[in-house]
A and B are shown apart, each in its own frame.
Chain A
């Protein structure tokens, strides 16, 4: 235990890195608060899942990813997008459905990605991305490449079939992947105890003879230590692992859910006392890496950055409906292949009727 604590604190020797961790968490917090506000102003449509309260669980592990690694996360993905370094303006623009968005407006809140940074997206089907993340690990293994895959998902995903199949394949094939359960105690409105026969989720790994462990998801350094260690092991030994990081979301499952029907105010309050940002600030202060002035300055910077992102996103153009049919297929020959299918296609599908709106 002591060793783990030591390893965790290594980052404190590099003040720039430590402050960067904090800044990222503050950025996520502010971005999510403003995203909620923008949703109520109807600039963001559809579903919007916020990670307020889960910053450490996200940032701690993503901080350990290198250039050869890959990241797959669930639809609660704004935090991941910001943590890998995507521009807040591009992320907000995607939420706004604008052309400058990370998926050019075609994906929305649940489908953020950043291919250059190996962030292969938020995914909309619970647990659906787990087998896909395994496939990425398979490709790394196939190419004898140096990386590993970090696959984040919620507690709700641990009960779906894809979870089982993915973990089994990863273990049987010895693939370099770390499965991180961000356990915020509730899958939508259903508690882990209600839904899971084995509520200590990390223990499920033993069904696959896979290493499983649990850390305090609101302690960014603990998350970072565990994830860093397990990712290194995956890269070096080609062994998968299941890392459970317990945390809490202050808001509901999504902006449409107040999160109060199934949780008590006392519970919510008690978790606020263990707020990951507050805790890390305390640690940084204890190590003389941060004072009030710097903290205020950082908060202000981050707030301005998000405001600017909103401004930029609001001003950006929306995608052209003439491009509605772009990227359904990508093969160079797809137009040729589909030429014979234009004849007598339904109204609106056949080329001659595509401009029916005008």
Chain B
């Protein structure tokens, strides 16, 4: 059996060698220890000695030719042996150590030598999330976090921060949230308070005074501002949720194995998003004489906390499936309750949905969440008797109320939006479209 002579490793850094000279020729007798060739390595010219006795049957790599480590460069065997024609270069390295690189895989287009890949026509890396981080709003991470927790929109402080170049810092947020006793306040005498406990009278024995948290203070502030400045009008609708509920059940059966669940609110969120992009004359905000047109629906979902209210925002909802909406809502709600929302997750909404259905409230109206054009208040779906084609049917009816900012849009637009939402929920297969 002919033995392959591999290109030997003759230095620790060698990966390839060149046969400088064949000392023995095809047909020569060879004894173990004989020098059979001279090999140029990366460091020096070294002698290659044979480790077997026999005849040099075939030279596979000629003088001046190179081969990678381990590639057979010759065959040594018995005098009368047949040499198989296929014993050519490229059989692959014999007995290479497992960690060795296999350089130069045939055909692999190496980056070196070729042209660089053409770059994409310059799209700036601007996912919505980036611009929502304040459109250049500079704020320290802790300031963002505290603002998020306290429901403060950092845009209110943009450029007015106390840090370098107007960076918004912790003290700015503390002040904005009305906190007292921050650092450096040693000058203030302990014991003085700037706020009266209640207008006029001191608390009686039957009353207790508790400080409001920054979040609740923020809520109070925003609600007052909204009611004071937004000309609200209200539109009611009664939506037959029968088919939507059936669709939901069907979806949940199909998803049971995946452990996922769709809620009624998830369907409503999707319906609202589709309706919003269908109704651009509704889907815009009022800003001091200008309209800001919203291209994508970012829907906020009001989440009640133990002590407060927060509205995490789902982004680009019209592009998301009901499943994705379900997953994200669940995640946001959980993190909202754990106080772990990021600033970007409570900013930038274009519409809000508030659902008190789980409390059994049949209907209610909500306060517009500035600067959005409207907010949808959703009640419980209740079985009622309705008249259809002159027959009395029992159907699950859900009352919704759309509160609208009359500066941003008109009654007709509001009606159209509501109509779209109703249509989508009553023919829920359209939610797939």
A-side interface residues, number (CB < 8 Å): 15
A100 to B11, CA, bound (A): 25
A46 beta carbon closer than 8 Å to chain B: yes
CB pair B8–A40 under 8 Å, yes or no, is yes
Q: A257-B44, A258-B47, A261-B44 are in contact. Are A41 and B12 (CB under 8 A)?
A: no
Whether a CB of chain B sits under 8 angstroms from the CB of A43 is yes
A42 contacts the other chain (Cβ, under 8 Å)?
Answer: yes
- Are A41 and B10 closer than 8 Å at their CB atoms? no
Contact B47 A42 (CB under 8 A): no
Task: Kindly state the separation between the CA atoms of A211 and B10 in the bound complex, as whole angstroms.
Answer: 41
Q: With A and B bound together, what is the CA distance between A318 and B99 in angstroms?
A: 11
Judge whether A45 and B10 touch: CB under 8 Å.
no
Q: How far is the CA of A42 from the CA of B17 in the complex (A)?
A: 14
Instruction: Give residues 28-87 of A contacting B (CB, 8 Å).
Output: 37, 39-43, 45-47
Within the complex, what minimum Cβ distance (angstroms) separates B141 from chain A? 15
User: A284 contacts which chain B residues (CB < 8 A)?
Assistant: none
Tell whether, in the assembled complex, residue B47 and residue A41 are in contact, meaning their CB atoms are under 8 Å apart: no
Contact B11 A42 (CB under 8 A): no
Interface size class of B (residues with CB under 8 A): 20 to 34
- Secondary structure dominating the interface of A: loop
Instruction: Digitize B50-92: 1 where CB-to-A-CB distance is under 8 Å, 0 elsewhere.
Output: 0100000000000000000110000000000000000000000
Bound: A40/B43 CA distance, A: 15
Asked if A345 is at the interface of the complex by the 8 Å CB criterion, the answer is no
Q: Which residues does chain A contribute within 8 Å of B9, judged by CB atoms?
A: 39-42
Give every chain B residue within 8 A of A45 (Cβ-Cβ): 12, 97, 99
Given known contacts A42-B96, A318-B98, A37 and B10 CB-to-CB distance under 8 angstroms: no
Contact: B44 with A42, CB < 8 Å? no
Within 8 Å by CB of B12, from A37, A47, A258, A318, lies A47
The answer to whether B10 touches A42 (Cβ under 8 A) is: no
Assembled-state Cα–Cα distance A37/B43 (Å): 19
CB–CB B44/A258 < 8 A: yes
Q: What are the residues of chain A within 8 A of B339 when measuring CB–CB? A: none
Closest to A256 in B: B11
In the assembled complex, the CB of B100 is this many whole angstroms from the nearest CB of chain A, namely 6
Choose among B11, B14, B41 the residue with the greatest number of A CB atoms under 10 Å from its CB.
B11
Q: Which single member of B43, B45, B51, B95 contacts A42 (CB below 8 Å)? A: B95
Q: Is A289 an interface residue, CB under 8 A from the partner?
A: no
Contact with A along B236-270 (1 / 0, CB 8 A): 00000000000000000000000000000000000
Please measure, in the bound complex, the distance between the C-alpha atom of A45 and the C-alpha atom of B13, giving whole angstroms: 9
Q: A37-B51, A256-B43, A258-B44 are in contact. Are A42 and B70 (CB under 8 A)?
A: yes
Are B46 and A42 in contact (CB-based, < 8 A)? no
A43 to B97, CA, bound (A): 5
Tell me the chain A residues, 79-101 only, with Cβ under 8 Å from chain B. Answer: none
Q: B residues within 8 A CB of A41?
A: 6, 8-9, 70, 94-95
Give chain A residues whose Cβ lies under 8 Å from the Cβ of B69. Answer: 42
Taking the closest CB of chain B, its distance from the CB of A254, in whole angstroms, is 8
In the complex, what residue of chain B is closest to A36 when comparing beta carbons? B49
CA distance A60 to B182 in the complex (A): 81
Q: Which residues from chain B contact A126 at a C-beta distance below 8 Å?
A: none
Query: Is A255 located at the chain interface by the 8 A CB criterion?
Result: yes
Contacting residues of chain B (282-320) with chain A, CB-CB under 8 angstroms = none
B9 to chain A, nearest CB (A): 5
Known pairs A256-B43, A258-B46; A42 contacts B12 (CB<8 A): no
The 8 closest A-B CB pairs, nearest first, are: A40-B8, A256-B11, A42-B9, A42-B97, A258-B46, A41-B95, A40-B9, A37-B51
- Apart from A41-B9, A42-B9, A42-B97, list 14 A-B contacts with CB within 8 A: A37-B51, A39-B9, A40-B9, A43-B95, A43-B97, A45-B12, A46-B12, A256-B11, A256-B12, A256-B43, A258-B45, A258-B46, A261-B44, A318-B98
Q: List 25 A-B contacts (CB under 8 A).
A: A37-B51, A39-B9, A40-B8, A41-B6, A41-B9, A41-B95, A42-B70, A42-B95, A42-B96, A42-B97, A43-B95, A45-B12, A45-B97, A45-B99, A46-B12, A255-B10, A255-B11, A256-B10, A256-B11, A256-B43, A256-B44, A258-B44, A258-B45, A258-B46, A258-B47
